[in-house]
């Protein structure tokens, strides 16, 4: 989609020290499993203690990332709340399923079921901020965050809102890690983030996180100029889609200063990144998945890292490219602007 919107603020909870301060990515040392967990901030300044005790990890990190984004944007009530998630609250889902088994479908606590629904984070944000405007959650695997962004862009373009809070959240649990490892999602052997691109094996490192953005129709320092999503393309079709996307925004390949790549070390699908990266030989390339791991909405961390690098560095134009197991491919064009 072509339609310029501005990013007034953002926030992320990730395996990095991303919640406060400048972004200084660090390669973590993993133990036991090829899996990264978020570094959780102090939630007590955002959530009352009596509520905090009843909330699962993904609810806490989704809600607090959203609230921090609003604080960073000096905004109390957004004109809409839109999120994307690939799995929702796995912890609550697993707890409810275990209770069904343990209690033989009797005397079940409904709280885990209620909190396991995909839109529970959106509801918590709306309740906390008393926001009664448009509220929507997309659950479309690797396109989940991209569709949330696209929906935000359409709302702003149509004039139905002037500020939209949009973001994504996903968590990893031991049970989910085991299930997905059975179908080849993760590295069979313990692989460190520093070894991700030299392991030459299928699968990647599991990750999790939450990132939120306040999109606005009012000018700000960072602009999201467009987004394009492509489903199950060949390598040639992907290259053509990228050329068409850049041409629609009057951007030449040499104008891309920063390429933010979702390359994840999975030899089954890294050839897609090879084709894209070859088109930008002069651009600085930042690989974000060694810092956050692979998950359905990892692209949200990719966009957050692109914004942070543009804010901190000399580059003006960034292209984010992320794909999810060869099926969902997303391009985002981000620019630093003067207004």
35 and 162 housed in the same domain: yes
Q: Where a domain ends, among 196, 216, 236?
A: 216
Confidence of residue 298 (pLDDT cuts 50, 70, 90): very high
117 and 206 housed in the same domain: yes
* pLDDT tens by residue, 48-60: 888 888 888 999 9
Cα gap 46→120, rounded to integer Å = 17
* pLDDT tens by residue, 163-215: 999 999 999 999 999 999 999 999 999 999 999 999 999 999 999 999 999 99
| More confident position, 282 or 22 | 282
60 and 208 housed in the same domain: yes
Confidence of residue 3 (pLDDT cuts 50, 70, 90): low
Provide the terminal-to-terminal Cα distance of the chain, rounded to the nearest Å: 23
166 and 212 housed in the same domain: yes
266 and 310 housed in the same domain: yes
> Apex CA 274: angle with CA 270 and CA 278, to 5°?
165
Residue 2 has a pLDDT of 61
Q: Can you give the CATH number for the domain in which 322 is found?
A: 3.40.47.10
154 and 233 housed in the same domain: no
Cα gap 328→139, rounded to integer Å = 13
- Provide the phi-psi class of 67: left if phi over 0, else alpha when psi is between -120 and 50, else beta: alpha
179 and 321 housed in the same domain: no
Q: Where a domain ends, among 169, 187, 216?
A: 216
Residue 75 has a pLDDT of 96
297 and 165 housed in the same domain: no
Residue 288: count of CB within 10 angstroms of its CB: 26
Confidence of residue 1 (pLDDT cuts 50, 70, 90): low
Nearest to 237 by CA among 264, 272, 270, 278: 272
Cα gap 144→337, rounded to integer Å = 27
> pTM of this prediction?
0.95
Q: How many domains does the chain have?
A: 2
Q: Is the four-CA dihedral 303, 307, 312, 317 of positive or negative sign? A: positive
Range of the domain at 15: 2-216
* pLDDT tens by residue, 223-247: 999 999 999 999 999 999 999 999 9
Q: Where a domain ends, among 157, 186, 216?
A: 216
99 and 163 housed in the same domain: yes
pLDDT at position 295 over 80: yes
pLDDT at position 22 over 80: no
* pLDDT tens by residue, 76-130: 999 999 999 998 888 788 777 777 888 778 878 787 777 778 899 999 999 999 9
105 and 163 housed in the same domain: yes
127 and 272 housed in the same domain: no
pLDDT at position 279 over 60: yes
199 and 244 housed in the same domain: no
């Amino acid at each position: 989609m072509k339609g310029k919107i501005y990013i007034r603020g953002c926030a992320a909870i990730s395996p990095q020290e991303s919640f406060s301060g400048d972004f200084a990515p660090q390669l973590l040392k993993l133990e036991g499993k090829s899996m990264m967990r978020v570094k959780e901030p102090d939630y007590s300044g955002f959530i009352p203690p009596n509520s905090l005790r009843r909330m699962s990890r993904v609810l806490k990190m989704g809600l607090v990332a959203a609230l921090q984004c609003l604080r960073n944007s000096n905004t109390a009530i957004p004109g809409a709340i839109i999120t994307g998630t690939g799995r929702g609250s796995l912890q609550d889902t697993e707890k409810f399923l275990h209770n069904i088994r343990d209690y033989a479908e009797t005397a079940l606590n409904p709280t885990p079921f209620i909190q396991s629904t995909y839109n529970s984070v959106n509801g918590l944000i709306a309740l906390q901020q008393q926001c009664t405007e448009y509220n929507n959650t997309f659950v479309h695997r690797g396109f989940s965050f991209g569709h949330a962004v696209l929906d935000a862009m359409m709302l702003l373009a149509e004039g139905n809102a002037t500020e939209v809070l949009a973001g994504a959240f996903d968590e990893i649990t031991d049970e989910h890690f085991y299930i997905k490892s059975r179908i080849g999602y993760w590295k069979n052997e313990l692989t460190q983030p520093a070894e991700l691109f030299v392991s030459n094996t299928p699968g990647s490192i599991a990750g999790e996180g939450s990132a939120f953005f306040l999109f606005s129709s009012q000018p700000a320092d960072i602009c999201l100029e467009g987004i394009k999503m492509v489903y199950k393309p060949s390598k040639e079709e992907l290259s053509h889609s990228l050329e068409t996307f850049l041409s629609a925004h009057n951007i030449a390949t040499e104008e891309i200063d920063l390429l933010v790549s979702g390359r994840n070390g999975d030899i089954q699908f890294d050839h897609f990144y090879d084709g894209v990266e070859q088109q930008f030989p002069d651009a600085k390339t930042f690989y974000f998945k060694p810092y956050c791991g692979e998950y359905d909405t990892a692209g949200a961390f990719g966009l957050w890292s692109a914004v942070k690098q543009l804010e901190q560095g000399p580059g003006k134009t960034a292209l984010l490219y992320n794909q999810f197991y060869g099926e969902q491919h997303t391009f985002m064009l981000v620019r630093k602007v003067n207004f």
